Structure 1
Amino acid sequence: MRKAKLAANLKWLFKELDFESRFQAAAHAGFQGVEYPNPYAFEPTKLRGWLDRAGLKQVLINTPGGPTGSPSEFGSAGVPGCEQEFRNGFLSALEYADWLDAGVIHVMAGNVPPEVTRRQAAATLVANMSWALEQAQNTNTVLVMEAINRFTMPRHSLDEIEHAAEIAAVLDSPKLGVLFDVFHVQRSGGNVLERLQNLAPQIAHVQVADSPHRHEPGTGEIAYSAVFDQLDNIGYDGWIGCEYEPTTSTLESLWWRGPLGYEPAQGRAS
């Protein structure tokens, strides 16, 4: 048996259904946990009800994004000048995490504005993360930072997972780790197995999709059997978010779970 558990990312999976129906669909497909980036479009009580009726664990949420087209569209933690926006959004994320019993908040860094240097963005990110850790001190939630590859997002404040790990090391808190997104790591230099080994102590969450087209594992260039073996080798026993674009329907795209050692659980009654 694999040590880690699979969570369905409801932004990417079961898009054939309306959002509410995706919870029951994930449970019937054998998932025990779900993640999604944007709970803020719904009242937390409504989300809590959908989780409870499906018997699911809320694994991860993201901090809010800003207006479409703005530097903070994909987060504000690393965007100079958006400090108050970040603080307001992070406090909202903490409230939702409490309601949903979410174990992880992905603190989105955002994009570096054209007039700002990456050094300035990094300093802002450190300062904001330090403040966020103080706010999360007495909660049950861990914060994570994710690096986004430059092919997908050229101006993202974090574009190498080692940079995220360096910030986590500087802040040195058990409440802070890195989100190891296998797709982004592969697109940012590869060497996935070695980097899993090197960063093992700081990995607090994992997400999977194949490269280069972000479909389900087994459809691209990543040797996912070796990746899952390495996750077992380093002792990772947390959640793995399935954050990929299915090549067909979601249910048909789940074929990879068996060959990679994740036999789906029995479906549950509605």
Structure 2
Amino acid sequence: MKRRNFIQKTALTGSALTMGSSLAYASNSLVENAAPHKFNLKYAPHLGMFKELAGEDIIDQINFMADQGFTAFEDNGMMGRDVAMQTKMGETLAKRGMTMGVFVVDKGGNMANTLAAGKQEHLDIFLDGCKRAVEVAKRVNAKWMTVVPGGYERRLPIGVQDGNVIEALKRGAEILEPHGLVMVLEPLSDSPDLYLQNSDQTYMICKGVDSPSCKILYDIYHLQKTEGHLIHNMDLTWDEIAYIQIGDNPGRKEPTTGEINYKNVFKWIHEKGFDGVLGMEHGNSKSGKAGEQAVIDAYKEVDSFM
């Protein structure tokens, strides 16, 4: 190769490399400096939802959620984490300006230690869980915690079961109320043996307890399955709803994957002036990074109701 041609080729190659490097740097900078998306509502992802994009580290996952524009977070298993991790998570949420959503009061599984039975040992387990939940809530700056009363006590009339549940929840409210904490009762569709399954029933229980520390967790996925008429039933029970959870049906995956018109439902919730948390308690319809990005994109789509 002639020296002149070699110099020209080298110069062109160097320019191309420099240009490529500059473009790559600019591209990375744009990604890193991109402003978080501004959602209209406080959607709350959970750990594991973005682990392919964010990595396995809990704090990295929370920071990733904030970087995407999510302003809340929920963690059902918070009470099972060690104190150091709870504290670190609380500090990270505060630093990122994120609202802590629900964690589950540790009273055993959804069917266990049923409050409907009126048994002292079940009540004691529940009240102990409420006491320990107060300390956890302080570490992570939480306000709401999920309570599932347990299964039916088939040997008792339903009115007696209702009375037992109300009295137990009154005792729990006595523990939580001085701290400004709220247990949110979640009606579920998982089993016909569960005591709490419908929004009107939960509304009645909350009215019976008559405390600002006992409200409804309206899980749209579960209540689409058990009763439907989502907007109508939310409107009927609205004054007792303190927390909302999300999942499309069938499949319990992100919005846009099932039958629920989430854009319309979210528009209605926004117009009601709801400023609480909407927990993303569902799985991802697709695996891997592409599936995680699909969840983010789905929320941008259904939140575009303005």
- Determine if the TM-score, normalized by the shorter chain, exceeds 0.5: yes
Q: What TM-score comes out, normalization by structure 2 length?
A: 0.76
- Further displaced range: 153-162 or 13-22: 13-22
Indicate conservation of the 8 Å contact 1:196/1:230, yes or no: no
Indicate conservation of the 8 Å contact 1:147/1:160, yes or no: yes
1:83-232 to structure 2, matched below 5 A, reads 83-113=123-153, 115=155, 118-149=158-189, 152-232=190-270
- Structure 1 residue runs of 4+, over 6 Å off? none
Structure 1, unmatched stretches of 5+, are 264-270
- Relative to 1, partners in 2 of residues 1:5 and 1:123: Cα closer, same or farther, differing over 3 Å? same
Structure 1 Cα separation of the partners of residues 46 and 118 of structure 2: 30
Structure 2 Cα separation of the partners of residues 178 and 222 of structure 1: 20
Structure 2 Cα separation of the partners of residues 31 and 223 of structure 1: 21
1:48-63 to structure 2, matched below 5 A, reads 48-53=87-92, 55=96, 56-63=98-105
Residue 69 of structure 2 corresponds to residue 30 of structure 1: yes
Structure 2 Cα separation of the partners of residues 165 and 19 of structure 1: 39
User: SS state of the match for residue 178, structure 1?
Assistant: strand
Letter in 1 for 2:197: D
User: SS state of the match for residue 255, structure 2?
Assistant: coil
Q: Which residue of structure 2 lines up, in the alignment, with residue 14 of structure 1?
A: 50
Instruction: Answer 1 or 2: higher relative contact order, Cα 8 Å, separation at least 6.
Output: 1
Indicate conservation of the 8 Å contact 1:61/1:106, yes or no: yes
Deviation track 1:225-262 (CA, whole Å, cap 9, x = no partner) reads 11011102322121111111111233322211222226
Structure 2 Cα separation of the partners of residues 116 and 146 of structure 1: 22
Deviation track 1:105-136 (CA, whole Å, cap 9, x = no partner) reads 11221222555554443222111110011111
Deviation of 1:76 after TM superposition, in Å, equals 4.5
Indicate conservation of the 8 Å contact 2:198/2:226, yes or no: yes
- Relative to 1, partners in 2 of residues 1:213 and 1:95: Cα closer, same or farther, differing over 3 Å? same
Structure 2 Cα separation of the partners of residues 98 and 208 of structure 1: 26
Q: Which residue of structure 1 lines up, in the alignment, with residue 283 of structure 2?
A: 245
Structure 2 Cα separation of the partners of residues 47 and 29 of structure 1: 22
- Relative to 1, partners in 2 of residues 1:30 and 1:51: Cα closer, same or farther, differing over 3 Å? farther
- Further displaced range: 249-258 or 216-225: 249-258
| Percent identity for Structure 1 against Structure 2 | 21
Structure 2, unmatched stretches of 5+, are 1-37
Letter in 2 for 1:39: M
Indicate conservation of the 8 Å contact 1:183/1:214, yes or no: yes
Q: Which residue of structure 1 lines up, in the alignment, with residue 12 of structure 2?
A: none
Q: Which residue of structure 2 lines up, in the alignment, with residue 266 of structure 1?
A: none
Letter in 2 for 1:130: K
Letter in 1 for 2:285: T
- Relative to 1, partners in 2 of residues 1:166 and 1:195: Cα closer, same or farther, differing over 3 Å? same
- Further displaced range: 133-142 or 23-32: 23-32
User: SS state of the match for residue 298, structure 2?
Assistant: helix
- Relative to 1, partners in 2 of residues 1:154 and 1:257: Cα closer, same or farther, differing over 3 Å? same
Structure 2 Cα separation of the partners of residues 185 and 154 of structure 1: 13
Structure 1 Cα separation of the partners of residues 186 and 105 of structure 2: 12
- Relative to 1, partners in 2 of residues 1:29 and 1:118: Cα closer, same or farther, differing over 3 Å? farther
- Relative to 1, partners in 2 of residues 1:22 and 1:80: Cα closer, same or farther, differing over 3 Å? farther
Residue 43 of structure 2 corresponds to residue 43 of structure 1: no
Indicate conservation of the 8 Å contact 1:23/1:51, yes or no: no
Indicate conservation of the 8 Å contact 1:76/1:85, yes or no: no
- Further displaced range: 155-164 or 14-23: 14-23
